[in-house]
Amino acid sequence: MLTFTALGPFQAWADGAPLDLGGQRQRAVLARLLVAAGRAVPVHTLIDELWPGDPPAQALSTIQGYVSRLRRALEPGRAPREEAGVLVSAPPGYALRARTEQVDAWHFEGLVKSDGTPAQVWAAMDTALGLWRGPALAEFAELSWAATEAGRLEELRLIAVERRADAGLALGRATSLVADLEAHATAYPLREEAWRLLAVALYRMGRQGDALAALRRARAVWRDELGLDLSAGLKRLEADMLAQRLEEPAADPVPGPVPDGGVLRVLVADDQALVRTGLKAMLDSEPGFAHAGEAANGEEAIAAVREARPDVVLLDIQMPRLDGLAAARRILAGERPPKVVMMTTFGSDENLYAALRAGVSGFLLKTSPPEQILAALRAAAAGDALIDPAVTTRLISAFAGRTDPASPPALAGLADDRLDVLKLVARGLTNRQIGQTLALPEEEVGVVVKSLLEHLGLFDRAQLVMAAYESGLVTPGAK
């Protein structure tokens, strides 16, 4: 599939491989058409904007040459007289024809402007910010059109940061948001919403004094920079805090991110047609999920991921031609890979172990009930991992105490409360279940899990499970 990235280094890609777009001005032609978002850009506009105030005598033929070479790069298989399908003629100029999901900036903007429940907004903003490799269009910064568009996209990014935080507060996640909001308000001190969100988050954590201090900082900055007092909205917030009139929202369960219009797209890969049919029926009948395609072996799964760009892949570990483990490694090594959840009827312990080390986002038994499969898919898409407790217990029994040269250092130095959380993660419990077991808020469990990952130099929950039994923290039969 052909894709374009502008939220960072400008590039076009064919099935994940970068295309040669030529020199700076030739690349600028394509970038300018991308900025137009599918609308035609007249040739005289291209000339004026690529050579501000001083176009060469042969500017028209130069533009035509640029377009011809770009068309060859974007559609190498097009016959000489066949009409272009991507960079098209649109008198009096040219236009870029692509779907929203093919252009990161278009996809990003659609997500930022989407609406829904707090969980859906959180997920959409999270996905949008994940596309940002910014600054946008930096290589064309000297051209006014690019600088204007970069500024517009940066404003959308700040809105996404604030919308995500606002949704997080509605979901009861103040604790995990404060550090990011502090950095945001410090970096953009003239943004009213930045200070509002920071103050509310601090207040929700029970830090009323810090919340009021944040508003005093905002007042000082605004007086120094603008000669203004706080806005009416921030003054009302300050008064409500002093009167303790702010209410705490109920904490929400883990929100599965639901990219693009509230739908989580799942690709099913299994060599048994009956299993694929059953999983498809489950996904089609469940709101918030969509069946993104299917595959009967590992090679087909890799090809289908490139074509369909799903959010999550549900992948059987034992398949012909190329097994699920090898397919998972190749899928996870790709550009912006989906999450991968493995399925097994109890395959090789070694394969399960290796897949966890490879970074998959969960393991399920094919006999798992539909609600557990759906929970695993939501958890994976949210950046979490759900491992069937039966699989976890079996792996611990098989590999407890095993040493591995790539495993993290011993767990010495971790406080007992951190070790308690790690033990429960290793038993396959979700953050919510751990919180219920240890009488902790769910968001606090999330903070502890994140700190464990950082301390051990790991990147996902599945690897925490490995660390727990490789170090002997969890042993067979332990409760």
317-to-157, 353, 354, 369, 457 alpha-carbon distances in Å: 38, 12, 11, 18, 27
**Which contacts (CB < 8 Å, 24+ apart) does range 282-290 have?**
282/370, 282/373, 282/374, 286/370, 286/374, 288/256, 288/258, 288/262, 288/263, 288/264, 289/263, 289/264, 289/374, 289/377, 290/263, 290/264, 290/265, 290/266
Ranked by mean pLDDT, the top range of 31-35, 255-259, 415-419, 460-464 is 31-35
Instruction: For residues 408-413, give the mean pLDDT.
Output: 58
Peptide bond into 135 cis (omega under 30): yes
User: Sign of dihedral through CA atoms 292, 293, 297, 303?
Assistant: negative
**Tokens 């007992």, residue?**
416
What ranges make up the beta strands (E) of 345-381? Answer: 362-365
What distance in Å separates the CA atoms of residue 308 and residue 290, rounded to the nearest whole number? 12
Q: What per-residue confidence (pLDDT) applies to 195?
A: 96
Of the two residues 396 and 441, the one the predictor is more confident about is 441
Are 400 and 466 in contact, with CB atoms under 8 Å apart? no
Phi-psi region of 272 (alpha: psi -120 to 50; beta: other; left: phi over 0): beta
Domains of the chain and CATH, by start: 1-154 (1.10.10.10), 174-250 (1.25.40.10), 263-387 (3.40.50.2300), 399-470 (1.10.10.10)
Band of residue 267 on the pLDDT scale cut at 50, 70, 90: very high
Contacts of 299 (CB under 8 A, 6+ apart): 321, 322, 327
Of the two residues 223 and 390, the one the predictor is more confident about is 223
Q: What per-residue confidence (pLDDT) applies to 88?
A: 94
Q: What per-residue confidence (pLDDT) applies to 350?
A: 57
Helix (H) or strand (E) holding 150: helix 144-170
Contacts of 276 (CB under 8 A, 6+ apart): 268, 270, 294, 296
Of all residues in the chain, what percent are helix, strand and coil, respectively (each to 5)?
55, 10, 35
Q: What percent of the chain has pLDDT over 90?
A: 40
Whether the per-residue pLDDT at 407 is higher than 70: the answer is no
Least confident piece of the model among 30-34, 314-318, 353-357: 353-357
What distance in Å separates the CA atoms of residue 137 and residue 414, rounded to the nearest whole number? 44
Supply the pTM of this predicted model.
0.54
Phi-psi region of 334 (alpha: psi -120 to 50; beta: other; left: phi over 0): beta
Of the two residues 245 and 351, the one the predictor is more confident about is 245
Q: What per-residue confidence (pLDDT) applies to 336?
A: 77
Are 166 and 119 in contact, with CB atoms under 8 Å apart? no
Average pLDDT, the chain: 83
